[in-house]
Structure 1
Amino acid sequence: MTDQEKGGAGAAASFPLRGEARSSSCGSRLELGMGTGVDDRVERLGLRVQACAIGQASAAVFAEAARGRTLEEICLAAQEMQAWVTGGGPHPDWPGLDLIAAAREYPARHGAMLLAWKAAEHAMAEHGRRC
């Protein structure tokens, strides 16, 4: 993915929308930056991931499909992810989730699974956009 920055202390710092999330159960952290076009579609994405394998895999699944989506679509996906991970909702329409689906059986991993979506929600909230 050519538009995705990885690693480094400032990977998300140069983007207009920035957010972070931390899993209280495992301590995994993710910083995210997004740049959008005039139609509110994600054009650029930067991630700094310090997470367990589930958190890293989930961040990769998020990053692979986030580009080209609107902020509204990402908000909806975040809500669907929360419901799906905790067992109260159907499988969200997000490519690649089958790669991390087995982790749903382990509640201690739910926070890591949701990191990227929570960071995206935080980024939008910091700019007055509520999901």
Structure 2
Amino acid sequence: HSGRLPAPEGSAERVAKLCGSKAIVDVVLDADGRVSGFAQTVKACALGQAAAGVVGENVLGASVEEIEAARDAMSAMLKSGGDGPEGRFEALRVLKQVADYPARHASTMVALEATLDAVKQALAKHHTDTRTRLAGAA
């Protein structure tokens, strides 16, 4: 899932200010609002690359709620000793030791945060397209 999608419905970029790790994510959603197409370009340290790999391997079929829950659980795992993500993103728990290195938290989160931003953008586009179609049918 490396690179860019030719016609994404949502695209987002996140940069970790401290180290410059960057993730650019493109998504396409199905009719139920789940991720059906995904591509990412990640320029990050090994930790950011590892997190991006887990996201890329598990994001297809995910809902915005699942991605948001994973982001929140990942953040809690890094900042306050939480257990970490569950379900399809549980493999992110392998990065639990990053909690001991606060300077690396942002780089570990960029891919997940960019994915969530891109999905939210695509959902907003879906809602706008639906309203436009409904208004045209009236």
Other-structure match for 2:73: 80
1:70 to 32, 53, 63: 63
How far has the Cα of 1:44 moved from its partner? 1.1
Q: TM-score, normalised by structure 2?
A: 0.78
Paired residues for 1:1-131 under 5 Å? 4=1, 6-7=2-3, 11-12=4-5, 14-87=7-80, 89-93=82-86, 94-126=89-121, 128=124
Listed as ranges, the gaps of 5+ residues in structure 1 are none
| Counterpart residue identity of residue 102, structure 2 | P
SS in 2 for 1:24: coil
Q: Between the two proteins, what is the percent identity of the paired residues? A: 30
Task: Give the conservation status (yes or no) of the 8 Å contact 1:65–1:95.
Answer: no
Q: Is there any run of 5+ residues in structure 2 with no aligned partner, and where?
A: 126-138
Amino acid at match of 1:37: D
Bigger CA drift: 94-103 or 42-51?
94-103
Mean alpha-carbon deviation: is it higher for 90-99 or for 49-58? 90-99
Distance in 1 of aligned mates of 2:34 and 2:40:
17
Aligned mates of 1:108, 1:115 — CA distance in 2? 13
Compare the two structures and name the one with the higher helix fraction: 2
Distance 2:35 2:120 in 1: 16
Write the letter of the residue equivalent to 2:111.
A
Determine if contact 2:83/2:93 at 8 Å carries over to the other structure: no
How far the C-alpha of 1:13 sits from its partner, in A, is 6.0
Instruction: Give the aligned length.
Output: 122
Task: Kindly name which structure, 1 or 2, has the bigger radius of gyration based on alpha carbons.
Answer: 2
Q: CA deviation at 1:72?
A: 1.7
Aligned pair in 2 of structure 1 residues 69, 95: CA closer, same or farther (>3 Å)?
same
Cα distance in 2 for partners of 1:39, 1:125 equals 13
TM value normalised by structure 1: 0.82
